[in-house]
Chains A and B, each alone.
Chain A
Amino acid sequence: MLKNYFFPDIVLSIGILLTGAAEAIHLYGVLFGRPLSECALIFGAVAALAAAVVLACVVIRVRGALTARRGRAAAPREPVQSRGRKGADALLWAAFVLLVLSQLLFLVTGQSVFCGGDMTVETVGSFLQSDGLHRVNPLTGQAYAEGLPSRLKILCLPTVYASLCRIFQVLPRVMVWRVIPVLTLLGCYTANLCLGKSLFPGSGRKQLVFLTAVALLIWVGSGQYGMDGFGLLRAGWRGETLRNAVLIPYAISLCIRRKYLHALLCAAAEACIVWTLYGLGVCPVIIAGLALTALPAKRRPVGTEAAG
């Protein structure tokens, strides 16, 4: 059952389950008119549990890796890689780390946020100020005259951000413009790590080149509206960015491994964070599209396409 699962799968799956829990808490707050402080408390408890599970998995993983390393040290030595190949790998690692660090630095300084058509900071601020969800018009701070579309009312991201602001006592603009984009970027690399492992199973070097190319393309696309790089480096708090940079690569990775039911979790998460048509969104189309491409392959004998 757990065949073809990687360690980053655990992190991403817990993130998606946390989104589902956040949606439930948000709906509880909206439908029953509960105060934000109560929702933040429940979310904090769930998030702490999720963090503990991730931490436990990391510890188990590190211990397993150390044991395997000791085992390798005791076993007869494998053929040594050529010096040139080792040097190229080191160069690739250095380039990748440098690119990611430069992006993190860019995000932390918060120099180039794009707020056109977005009012997340105001919404989070109004949640905190009124200690309730969608009680006042975020743009004016006055009571709603007509309200807001119910499809938007059920999106959970503002509640998540407001809860995090309440728990860590951070200003909304710091949380939304600086902290969340960092988490989104890290989520993007985790999702692309899964995708790299699915695209190039068993080839660490190809996976590293793939990740380095993704890092480079994030910088390349950062100046063009609608590109992943633009979303990640200038609007990492938006639901569309989370979907395009985290959920979609992860859903593709799962579809390549033929884990369609698990991929549907990405579609569910998308419905909780992005305004989609009657609950449908981009993820279901991608999952359906990749499932359709698998149909002709099924007729061929098994093993003609590696892991695909």
Chain B
Amino acid sequence: MTELFRNAWAGWRGFTGDGKLVGLLLVSLLFLWLYYKRVEQKRFLIYTTVMTVCCIVPVTAAVLMRYQTLFYSYEWIWSFVPLTSVIAFAAAVFVTEPLQNTAEYGRKKRIAAVAALLLLFALCGGMGSGLEDSGQEESRRAEAVLEKLREKASGRELCLWAPQEIMAHAREYDSALTLVYGRNMWEPSLNAWLYDTYPEEIVELYRWMSGGEEKTMTDLSCAETAVAAGVNCILLPESTEKGTIESFERVLGVKTESLEGYYLLIR
């Protein structure tokens, strides 16, 4: 339970760090409560206020996190609060009620108030940050490689082993390809969707291809393990040493070809 509290607190800090929409929600609720008598749907306001408090207070947040299953992170308990709807509700009340009904407000003042509201919205959203290209360039590069690979395969069934940037997009691009391991090897959150796990030698293959210091397999045993696992198509990065390539050629019994910045071995 302590762990759950800690997660709830850390989640709140992380959630409010990226953007200020929660701040805008609190301002909206404050405005609606101050303007309570003129608010038509008080039940909606009461429900939203109670749930907002529940999402902020660590004890109730922890209960909500357990309710929504531990599969989901802290951010998702905010689904209980109709954040967009309540801010829009407050904005609609603000723009149409106090501004319209106050006689001393001139046209210019009303326009200035709406402009201030728009600016507040824009500032709360982090000014478009987070919308930048999220791996699309890598995806496009992988697509180009996989397109060429499909041409080379000329209808054969392929079981591919390649660097992570290719493996990550291979099944998105072509579901006829089979892979020696999938995205869940380096993206553990995906393991929630499957019971399948990988044997140690397949994990070793991943470590070898990632090129980190953790790899323990020799080039030769690595190639043999890959072939034993059913791999018939290997892409090696351009930086692969000549001796390694020769080991792979010997085990697979084929010559390497160059393919879009990779060495291709296909049999």
Contacts from A to B (Cβ < 8 Å)? 84, 111-117, 119, 121-122, 125-126, 128-129, 137-142, 144-149, 152, 172-173, 192, 195-196, 198-201, 203, 205-207, 209-211, 213-214, 216-230, 233-234, 240, 243-244, 248-249, 252, 256, 275-277, 280-282, 285-286, 289-290, 293-294, 297, 305-308
Q: Are B175 and A227 in contact (CB under 8 A)?
A: no
Q: With a CB–CB cut-off of 8 A, which chain B residues contact A225?
A: 18, 75, 130
Given contacts A116-B187, A209-B96, A249-B82, contact A277 B67 (CB under 8 A): yes
The answer to whether B79 touches A282 (Cβ under 8 A) is yes
Contact status A129-B176, CB under 8 Å: yes
Q: Contact residues of B with A, CB < 8 Å?
A: 15, 18-19, 21, 40-44, 46-47, 50-51, 67-69, 71, 75-76, 78-80, 82-85, 87-89, 91-93, 95-96, 107, 118, 121-122, 124-126, 128-136, 171-173, 175-184, 187, 189-190, 193-197
For A111, list chain B residues within 8 Å (CB): 133, 136
Q: Is the CB of A137 within 8 A of B196?
A: yes
Q: Are A146 and B96 in contact (CB under 8 A)?
A: no
Quick one: closest A residue to B176, CB to CB? A129
Is B47 touching A286 in the complex (CB atoms < 8 A)? yes
Residues of B contacting A199 with CB < 8 Å? 40-41, 44, 89, 92
Q: Would you call B182 and A216 a contact (CB within 8 A)?
A: no
Which residues of chain B are within 8 angstroms of A216 by Cβ–Cβ distance?
118, 121
Closest Cβ of chain A: how far from B232's Cβ, in Å? Answer: 13
Given A214-B85, A219-B125, A307-B40, check contact A282 B178 (CB 8 Å). Answer: no
Looking at the complex, which one of B50, B92, B187, B194 makes contact with A210 (CB distance below 8 Å)? B92
The 9 lowest CB-CB distance pairs between A and B, nearest first, are A139-B182, A226-B75, A125-B175, A223-B130, A220-B125, A146-B195, A213-B88, A141-B178, A224-B19
- Asked if A289 contacts B126 (CB within 8 A), the reply is no
Assess whether B43 is in contact with A140, with CB atoms less than 8 Å apart. no
B107 near A192: Cβ-Cβ < 8 Å: no
Most chain B CB within 10 A, of A141, A282, A306, is at A141
Contacts of A293 in B (CB 8 A): 42-43, 46-47
Give the residue of A84, A128, A145 whose beta carbon is less than 8 angstroms from that of B196.
A145
Complex-state Cα separation, A145 to B199, whole angstroms: 11
Q: How far is the CA of A244 from the CA of B81 in the complex (A)?
A: 10
The residue of chain A having its C-beta at the shortest distance from the C-beta of B78 within the complex is: A226
Best-buried of B40, B87, B189 by chain A (most CB within 10 Å): B40
The residue of chain B having its C-beta at the shortest distance from the C-beta of A277 within the complex is B69
For residue B19, which residue of chain A has the nearest CB? Answer: A224
User: In the bound complex, do residue A140 and residue B181 qualify as a contact, i.e. CB atoms below 8 Å apart?
Assistant: yes
Q: If the complex has contacts A142-B178, A209-B95, A252-B44, are A223 and B171 also in contact, measured as CB distance less than 8 A?
A: no
Establish whether residues A119 and B193, one from each chain, have CB atoms under 8 Å apart when the complex forms.
Answer: yes
If the complex has contacts A119-B190, A209-B96, are A289 and B44 also in contact, measured as CB distance less than 8 A?
no
**In the complex the two chains form, what is the Cα distance from A35 to B156 in whole Å?**
24
Q: Determine the chain B residues whose CB is within 8 A of the CB of A211 once the complex forms.
A: 88
Q: Give 26 CB contacts A-B under 8 Å.
A: A111-B136, A112-B131, A114-B134, A117-B187, A122-B183, A139-B184, A140-B180, A141-B178, A145-B195, A145-B197, A192-B88, A199-B40, A199-B41, A207-B92, A213-B88, A214-B84, A216-B118, A216-B121, A220-B19, A220-B121, A220-B124, A223-B128, A227-B84, A228-B84, A275-B69, A275-B71
Residues from chain B with a CB closer than 8 A to the CB of A229 are 84, 125
Q: Is the CB of A282 within 8 A of B68?
A: yes
Known: A117-B190, A229-B125. 13 other contacts (CB 8 A): A125-B172, A126-B171, A145-B196, A147-B196, A206-B96, A207-B92, A214-B85, A217-B21, A218-B84, A221-B125, A223-B130, A230-B130, A308-B43
Q: Once bound together, how far apart are the Cα atoms of A173 and B92, in whole Å?
A: 38
Chain A residue numbers with a CB within 8 Å of B197 are: 145-146
Give Cα distance in the complex from A285 to B107, angstroms: 43
Whether B196 lies near A227 (C-beta < 8 A) is: no
Closest to A252 in B: B82
User: Which B residues are in CB contact (< 8 Å) with A146?
Assistant: 194-197
Closest residue of B by beta carbon distance from A127: B175
CA distance A111 to B88 in the complex (A): 27
